[in-house]
Structure 1
């Protein structure tokens, strides 16, 4: 390493320690008493010795996924790793508590879940000594300079998988290109989601021979196939509409909405019901703490609704002869139903009963929510102007499998779809085709990992 490189690492370490000193009290105290001790010990690299840590010649594969999104994205890869290397120890580290929770729920049965050490040499060296990883895999964007350098110094291959680099991060990294070049070239191989991200890595100084474009793990993530029984009412409505009126009942899902978006969507829905009186709406707020807030908004607008938390699946089972729910009785036969999805974990499978999926987080400057869940089920996708978190959405727009609109045009956009059922069906089919076409990144990643183990 050059003298300039050493100075850059020294400067980085000083700035990191200053930031850690300032933020540590808040990070420590915001956690429960039960969690604080484990969080601090693990972030210092003081892990407990358990059977999950590699004390044998068997490979130990350490995967780092910063938070929930990266954990979910890496799940297909981790499952494939376990299938191929049955006896290997798999470690997955996160930074956030929510990442820990989701990792435990999704893959806790096949991997040991830990907090990643602070990016300080002492903590990293302790972690490496305890865990003895055979390989270190970074998911998406977590480029911690000291972790990468120390892994490489210990002859532990470092792989970037499902790599992406946003325009914001790219512009920031360009300022420190001479430092980032050294960081990136300590990585054995960079497997990027698409050619745009690959080109950004080349511009930052990464060795072009180390860069591969393999696709996006998110396309290998399958939503739960266990569709709740209560959704049967919407399937039954479609059947009855065709039999009795030669019309098709429509259902819109507004998934993972944020504040102000519910008001926008409900206003559009109320106007649409003038022309489509049997139109259903399932609205799913992104954050559980806002369930009550959205319920109050529904009341304020004088809309009848049903809370999912108050439903019993048996009321809506396909075999059930009763269509009575929370006082609405059989009103779905005369008008549409609004369901407030105030539970966690059902949205990805509930998309299966909708005709149109509106992506929450896209009508505000949040960056949107995951459009691949409705795409998996073959549904027409409607997005606002802010889908920056999912740059692959541009391919959906180009192929006509998703529609881009804005707050002012949402009503007209939805009406245009509802008067053209064949377009809704076509968009859904195209979305499903695009989803399937882009699947397979996890298999390509396994082939890369095999070469470095």
Structure 2
């Protein structure tokens, strides 16, 4: 890792700072309301304004900002290693979403705290940094917040970007402001990228090439999602030998498509069961209403409705049980890929020997799906009809087992990624406090 003087900030940064200062109240009101609408208490929602609800522990503190569920889960495996190797260190994990915060309540290890991330406004950032004064800050994936980056640099706090990922759209957007991009990226002491493409883009935009390296996608090395074995045994008994498949992390517009594919599956396997797991469980009631209006027999998990022989679709609209359903399904369609969301994590089902199906819109996991498709661990389907055809084809062939084994083999080789990232972060922390 190399340190070089941070570049001066161009006028566009001063304009950004002015606009976010002038509209700070509106930005704050929107962020707080969004959390409260998701059931977050008014007190905790104020964390978005930099008002801490926990005291700062003594000793060193590392701040890791992980945005939402996907980013949060990608860093979970890192935390025990960092805690074990860095004595007298606490890790503060921040997220912006209530869903990720709920996962943090149950899955953060000891010596780890959670708060909602501060807004990139002057007062919120100042309050946050003054209270927590971290010894190191770590942003995950594509979090590049100008004021926070500048303020961290002004306070002499080393900053890392890990599991970095930039879409084509983001690259083009930052390329429109080359001086700003270069000034901000020059303030990162360490940049660890998912792909060489992102590493090249960030270097071209101004990151110090000495500090940039490719570690691959940290999600590959994530631990398997938790599974309640008692619930697994209970559901396995209720599902019996019925042909079963899972549609996971679906978004609005996708439930209708996977239901259509299930109809095609049912045409040849009349007792087939679809387990439908929406990305946002709070949509469960609306999804159930839509499906029932179309004639489907639905059992809704959030209402403790157990599936029986008449159930055609089991709506798994609960939080924190994704691993449970991956462990039961031989094949899984991963949502966010029939609609322009960018796709979702394919490594989670791979840990459970799932054959993976996905739509064509997966920009956020382009390298992952290219790799998995290339080794026959995953398969792209462009329409509901193709999805239904693939389900039937795999169900009746040896290809299902081939895909399952390939998917599992891929993720079990990812342990070195976590080790590589943790070693580099610990080195940066060591340099920061010595």
Alignment of 1:247-396 (within 5 A): 250-309=243-302, 328=308, 331=309, 338-391=313-366, 392-396=368-372
Distance 1:426 1:148, change over 3 A: same
SS in 1 for 2:363: coil
Mean Cα deviation higher: 433-442 or 388-397: 433-442
Q: Is the 8 A contact 1:136 1:156 kept in 2?
A: yes
Q: Provide the rounded CA distance (Å) in 1 between the counterparts of 2:29 and 2:239.
A: 52
Distance in 2, matches of 1:3 and 1:337, equals 60
| 2:416 paired residue number | 440
- Alignment partner, residue 88 of structure 1: 89
Shift of 1:46: 4.7
Q: Deviations over 1:286-340 (max 9, x none)?
A: 333332333334434434443334658xxxxxxxxxxxx67x4xx48xxx85422
Aligned counterpart, 1:11: 15
User: How far apart, CA to CA, are the structure 2 residues paired with 1:35 and 1:293?
Assistant: 24
Q: Is residue 137 from structure 1 mapped to residue 138 from structure 2 by the alignment? A: yes
Q: Separation in 1 of the partners of 2:6 and 2:91?
A: 35
Q: TM-score, normalised by structure 1?
A: 0.83
Check if 1:452 corresponds to 2:428. Answer: yes
CA separation of 1:304 and 1:2: change in aligned 2, threshold 3 A: closer
Instruction: Pick closer, same or farther for the CA change 1:60–1:406 going to 2, 3 Å.
Output: same
Q: Distance in 2 between matches of 1:121 and 1:376?
A: 42
Report how far residue 202 of structure 1 moved. 1.5
Q: For the Cα contact (< 8 Å) 2:8–2:183, is it kept in 1?
A: no
Maintained 8 Å contact 2:165/2:193: yes
For residue 5 of structure 1, give the secondary structure of its aligned residue in structure 2.
Answer: coil
Secondary structure class of the residue paired with 1:113: strand
Cα offsets for 1:367-416 (capped at 9, x unmatched): 22322221111111111111222222111111111110122422222222
CA contact (8 A) 2:298 2:312 kept: yes
**Range 96-105 or range 405-414, more displaced:** 96-105
Matches within 5 A, 1:47-126: 47=52, 50=55, 52-54=56-58, 58-107=59-108, 109-121=110-122, 123-126=124-127
Per-residue CA deviation, residues 155-203 of structure 1 (Å, 9 max, x unaligned), is 2211111111122111101101111111111110101112121111122
Structure-2 change in CA distance of 1:293 and 1:26 (3 Å): closer
Shift in alpha-carbon separation, 1:182–1:16, aligned structure 2, 3 A: same
Counterpart of 1:400 (choices 376, 396, 403) is 376
Q: TM-score, normalised by structure 2?
A: 0.86
Secondary structure of the 1:390 match is: helix
After the TM superposition, which of the residue ranges 369-378 and 219-228 deviates more from structure 2? 219-228
CA RMSD of superposed structures (Å)? 2.8
Farther off after superposition, 398-407 or 436-445: 436-445
Secondary structure class of the residue paired with 2:160: strand
Deviates more, 1:196-205 or 1:119-128: 119-128
2:228 aligned with 1:226: yes
1:417 corresponds to: 394
**Do 2:282 and 2:317's aligned partners in 1 also have CA atoms closer than 8 Å?**
no
The higher radius of gyration belongs to 1
Q: Which runs of no fewer than 5 residues in structure 2 stay unpaired?
A: 430-434
CA 1:3–1:343 in structure 2 vs 1: closer, same or farther (change >3 Å)?
A: closer
SS of the residue 2:365 aligns to: coil
Does the 8 Å contact 2:225/2:322 carry over to 1? no
Name the SS for the 1:357 alignment partner. strand
Deviations 1:325-361 (A, max 9, x none): 67x4xx48xxx85422233222222111212101122
Tell me, yes or no, if the aligned pair for 2:158 and 2:189 is still in contact at 8 Å: yes
Contact 1:257 / 1:284 at 8 angstroms: preserved in 2? yes
Number of aligned positions between the proteins: 418
Q: Aligned partners of 2:351 and 2:332: how far apart in 1?
A: 12
Q: Does 1:27 align with 2:5?
A: no
User: C-alpha displacement at 1:21, in angstroms?
Assistant: 4.1
Q: Partner of 1:242 in structure 2?
A: none
Of the structure 1 ranges 303-312 and 371-380, higher mean CA displacement relative to structure 2 is found in 303-312
- Local SS of the residue matching 2:93: strand
Secondary structure, in 3 states, of the residue corresponding to 1:440? helix
